[in-house]
Structure 1
Amino acid sequence: MTRKQANGLTAAQLDALCRRWPGVTRDTKWGVDMVLSVGGKMFAVMPSDGSEGGRLSFKVADERFLELTDQPGIIPAPYLARAHWISITEPQRFATAELTAFVLDAYVLIRAKLTKKLQAELGPLPTLKVDKK
Structure 2
Amino acid sequence: MNIEKAKAFCRSLPGATEDIKWGADLVFSVGDKMFAVTGNCVAAGGISFKVDDDRFLELTDRQGIIPAPYLARARWVKIEDLKAVSDAEAAELLKRSYELVFSKLTKKLQREIGEGQGA
Tell whether 2:26 aligns with 1:26. Answer: no
- 1:62 equivalent in structure 2: 53
Matched residue SS, 1:27? strand
Q: Percent identity over the alignment?
A: 51
Secondary structure (helix, strand or coil) at the match of 2:42 reads coil
Counterpart contact for 2:6–2:90, Cα < 8 Å? no
Distance 1:109 1:31 in 2: 26
Corresponding residue for 1:95? 86
| Count of residue pairs the alignment pairs up | 116
- Distance, in Å, in 2 between the alignment partners of 1:14 and 1:26 is 13
- Specify the structure having the higher radius of gyration (Cα): 1
- Structure number having the greater helix percentage: 2
Q: What is the TM-score normalised by the length of structure 2? A: 0.89
1:71 is aligned to 2:62: yes
Could you tell me which amino acid in structure 2 is paired with residue 21 of structure 1?
Answer: L
Which consecutive residues of structure 2, in runs of 5 or more, have no partner in the other structure?
Answer: none
TM-score scaled by length of structure 1: 0.80
Task: Specify the alignment match of 1:40 in structure 2.
Answer: 32
- Cα deviation code 1:90-118 (max 9, x no counterpart): 01232111111110100000000000111
Distance 1:19 1:94 in 2: 19
Check the 8 A contact 2:65/2:84 in 1, yes or no. no
- Partner AA of 2:2 in structure 1: L
8 Å Cα contact 2:19-2:26 kept in structure 1: yes
Q: Distance in 2 between matches of 1:18 and 1:80?
A: 19
Shift of 1:78: 0.3
- For structure 1, which runs of at least 5 residues remain unmatched after alignment? 1-7, 127-133
**Cα distance in structure 2, aligned partners of 1:42 and 1:78:** 15
What amino acid maps onto 1:84 in structure 2?
A: R
Q: Which residue pairs with 1:122 in the alignment?
A: 113
1:9 counterpart residue number:
2
Contact 2:6/2:87 (<8 A) preserved: no
